[in-house]
Amino acid sequence: MPDAAVAARSSESTNSGTTQQVDVAVVGAGFAGLYLLHRLREAGFSTVVVEEAGDVGGTWYWNRYPGARCDIQTIDYGYTFDPELDRAWTWSEKYATQPEILRYFGFVADRYDLRRDIRFNTRVKAANWDDTSGRWQLVTDSGADVSCRYYIMATGCLSAPKPPEIDGVADFKGEIYFTGRWPHDEVKLAGKRVAVIGTGSSGIQSIPLIAEQAAQLTVFQRTPNFALPAHNGPAPDDRKTYFETDRAAYREQARWSLAGVPYPQEMAVSWQLNDAERRERFEKAWAAGDLVHILTQLWADQAVDFDGNALIGKLIHEKIRSVVKDPGIAAALSPHDHPFGAKRPCLDTNYYATYNRPNVTLVNLREEPITEITATGVKAGERTFDVDVIVFATGFDAMTGAIKAVYPITGRGGKSLSDVWANGPQTYLGLTVSGFPNLFMITGPGSPSVLSNMAVSIEQHVDWVVDRLAALRDAGFTTIDATETAQAGWAQHMADCSMLTLHRLANTWYTGANVPGKVQGLMPYTGGVGPYRSICNEIVSRGMLGFKLTGPNVAEQCNDGEVVRLQPDVRLVLGMLAEMNLPPIESMGALGARDFLTEFNKGRPAGRPVGEVGTGALMGADGPLPYRLYRPATPGPHPIVVYFHGGGWVLGDEQSDDPFCRDICRRSGMIVVSVGYRHAPEHRFPAAAEDGYAATRWIAEHAAELGGRPGPVLVAGWSAGGNIAAVTCQLARDRGGPQIAGQLLICPVTDCTFDRPSYTDNATGYFVTRSLMYWFWDIYCSPADRTDPRVSPLRGNLAGLPPAFVATCEFDPLRDEGIAYAEALATAGGSVEQLQARGHFHSSLMMVDVVITGVSGRVKMAEALRGFAGLPRKLEASGEGTSPITVNAAAG
Ligand code: N01
């Protein structure tokens, strides 16, 4: 019998004790549950929503503490699916109060007549998948149990309050309140001695208002948090005007943005701005009173680079000192243990100023930890604080707490979700779990959820899920289950994304660190709302990639695989390049391609300062060649790295890899001399190879003049430059010098055959294409010369060469010949270190300050160079300088 028909027959069963049959059961009547109900009804699915609370609103039903407000501007914090609804509701303030938000949900529920399908005051206790019927059986604590084809948890990320893990709470004889379960009746605090434990968003919002009422307020702070003044009032004109000018465009920009609020991607990095410029930006953000603004619009590296981030912390510390009169209290309130934004910052109204009040005391639990709660108050350190009321603003078992509160949830083969998640939540997209067919979570762990404007993420999730359910039904499928491969791929992608930002560097509820004993790991998706949306769309366009679909009368469909195999920032860069729709470089002609490269390079970040950049001329194989020298800021003499740029022996010059040369100079603490060797077609093989060798010899002979350390030099190169570096080592060995201490080969060309798998696997789509490589080879070298080791070093004698570091990229036609060269060097008895950069393409390790996941690869390169030169591998360990650049990301 069709699900809807079953449902129609059983609609009166709610209180009869028999099982209620529906197509879809939704748990939770908050933001997500209400929209789900509306969409599912529209799509023709019989639906019941089960809600523990007495009315709609989700988190806003429970969080009624003084000062509770949203901290995303109301203009962005609402449903957008219906422009009429959008127009029918006007918020009274920039940040609405909890009662107003609750009124909004009531308004939405009335407008779409939602309450008639919501079972309030009912909790789902357990959920079990029945493989035979292909349905979920939900056990409820009142009324009928529910049988449903699809079970959707819209239980929210911050809805399961964390129990206070402090001894003696039960002994306390006064009043106890939790911000996350605040009473519906008025709580009278006037004239009372109140303790607030916790200084997250809930504490920071409530403390100023509690201080106004209470006779005495004692705040127990474990970790100071960053708070920004909300400057609440009417919606700001700039946002309103932008919104009113083109509402649809505004909403669409939000949907494709990183955080779900329409702000552009900031491009200027912190070190390109001077102090005054940075301060101006900061003051503007401080005055704007907008978390998304201050979290995204200061400078491009604020969320990804520790140093760029630390600048903000210092500026906020200044603000705290300017408000809080007692310097000791100001210091205690100033966060020092986490990067700004790595822990959820707060919006406040008069928070810091509250500590100037005579009736407010701050207890720093880092110095005086709470030992117990007694019948009369709180003991911290050596002191006892007698109070009448304790407010626990201690937060939530976030992201997983409300899901796991339904216990057990058993999937295929009786597997329990708690067991499957014993080592941390595993999901595909944060929406599904392999082995739990037809179960969906809205904003589950693995979705952008709490790192985004929840309104935007929820709408996207709901639309995606309901559209999929409708498509399944139309195709005759009745079950959908994520594959293990897809889920493992998502976990890898999550881990890759987490290396991009600084969230992993703080102990927070994002990582589960706030709940004793909880497995720790970053739970929200840090890749951004727009990229996440594009991935979800890609899954559909690739035939429900990563899902197994079955139905009674259709053939099973399983399109297995991982949706994202590129590093997240590499994916973005390739996406941007694809959008530019550039003509193939080989169609431009050599001169045109050089002009194109020059123009193209103008758009990249400029590269960071080094001690000195100089230019000069050196003697090549057939005359002078230009060079560019990068000197560290530390006192010399430094070892010298002779560097050969990439460009297929045709393009580029001594400046074209400038950001990379700066980066390697800074990270290695060595002089880098980039050589302007001759190019084809003007100078064909073996001009580049011979120039490389001659330049290396000249530099070695003139090391002292260049300010370098006399003795062996090092060689390095990327792509065709890697080819020249490798060839130079062979020539130096065969021609009696110069002495070379080590070779760094990045994605090198090493051989003239094109039949290795990487040439086919990565023939197109990764910027450097197979046909571009053919073109380079044709311009540089006639077929008769191609087996000469001076262009195919893999065919040369590989014994007795300097130690090597060979970096290759997974999505590069040249990958396999680079690996082959590394292996052949090792076979020949050489010392070789390999970096096979997972998820990178030919150029991405070179994209300094663009592809952050390339940083750790370049750190390893620099360490290898230092090792070759006989220096401590880590620059910091050598005492030559302190923290030249923050290491914050990983390449494979
Ligand atoms: O919870 P929190 P929250 N002893 O976990 C401390 C959203 N929200 O309810 O940091 C002593 O942030 C704990 O200390 P520490 C928003 O996303 C939004 O305030 O773990 N102290 C911390 O100071 C927010 O981030 C709004 O060292 C203990 C505090 O309690 C999220 O909800 C408003 C302790 C908990 O802070 C959670 O905010 C409110 C112990 N045993 C919330 N245990 C809006 O404005 C914990 N603490 C939309």
- SS3 for 160-203 is CECCCCCCCHHHCCCEEEEHHHCCCCCCCCCCCEEEEECCCHHH
Rounded Cα distance between 418 and 375, Å, is: 36
**How far, in Å, are 51, 63, 68, 407, 450 from residue 401 at the CA level?**
16, 16, 21, 11, 14
Rounded Cα distance between 49 and 33, Å, is: 7
pLDDT band with cut points at 50, 70 and 90 for residue 606: confident
What residue's CA is closest to ligand 1, atom 13? 198
Res 876: pLDDT = 75
Residue 891 predicted with pLDDT over 50: no
What Rg, from alpha-carbon coordinates, does the chain have?
Answer: 31
Residue 236 predicted with pLDDT over 50: yes
Q: If you average pLDDT over residues 684-705, what whole number do you get?
A: 98
Res 878: pLDDT = 59
Kindly give the number of the ligand 1 atom that is closest to the alpha carbon of 394. Answer: 30
- Of 620 and 9, the one with more pLDDT: 620
Using most ligand atoms within 8 A of CB, pick from 77, 373, 394, 503 the residue to mutate for ligand 1: 394
SS3 category, 229: strand
Determine whether the shortest distance from the Cβ of 395 to ligand 1 is under 6 A: yes
Determine whether the shortest distance from the Cβ of 203 to ligand 1 is under 6 A: yes
Res 875: pLDDT = 87
The alpha-helical segments, DSSP class H, found in 712-769 are 720-734, 757-761
Using most ligand atoms within 8 A of CB, pick from 93, 201, 390 the residue to mutate for ligand 1: 201
Q: What is the pLDDT of residues 84-120, one digit of tens each?
A: 999 999 999 999 999 999 999 999 999 999 999 999 9
Two structure tokens written together for 423:
């080592």
Using most ligand atoms within 8 A of CB, pick from 65, 197, 514 the residue to mutate for ligand 1: 514
Is residue 211 within 8 Å of 217, Cβ to Cβ?
A: yes
pLDDT band with cut points at 50, 70 and 90 for residue 9: very low
Rounded Cα distance between 303 and 97, Å, is: 29
Determine whether the shortest distance from the Cβ of 222 to ligand 1 is under 6 A: yes
Neighbouring CB atoms inside 10 A of 607's CB total 19
| Residue 598 CA to ligand 1 centre (angstroms) | 50
Rounded Cα distance between 369 and 381, Å, is: 5
Gap between the terminal Cα atoms of the chain:
51
Residue 7 predicted with pLDDT over 90: no
What is residue 219's DSSP assignment? E
| Residue 399 CA to ligand 1 centre (angstroms) | 14
| Residue 221 CA to ligand 1 centre (angstroms) | 11
Q: What is the pLDDT of residues 400-419, one digit of tens each?
A: 999 999 999 999 999 999 99
Least confident of 14-18, 82-86, 186-190, 335-339: 14-18
Phi, psi at 548, each rounded to 5°: -100, 130
**How far, in Å, are 1, 44, 161, 502, 641 from residue 515 at the CA level?**
46, 41, 10, 20, 50
Dihedral angle over CA of 207, 213, 216, 220, nearest 10: -20
Residue 13 predicted with pLDDT over 50: no
Rounded Cα distance between 329 and 352, Å, is: 10
Residue 237 predicted with pLDDT over 80: yes
Q: Which of 540, 524, 538, 539 is nearest to 457 (CA)?
A: 524
Q: If you average pLDDT over residues 68-94, what whole number do you get?
A: 96
pTM: 0.94
Determine whether the shortest distance from the Cβ of 344 to ligand 1 is under 6 A: yes
Determine whether the shortest distance from the Cβ of 401 to ligand 1 is under 6 A: no
Q: If you average pLDDT over residues 600-618, what whole number do you get?
A: 93
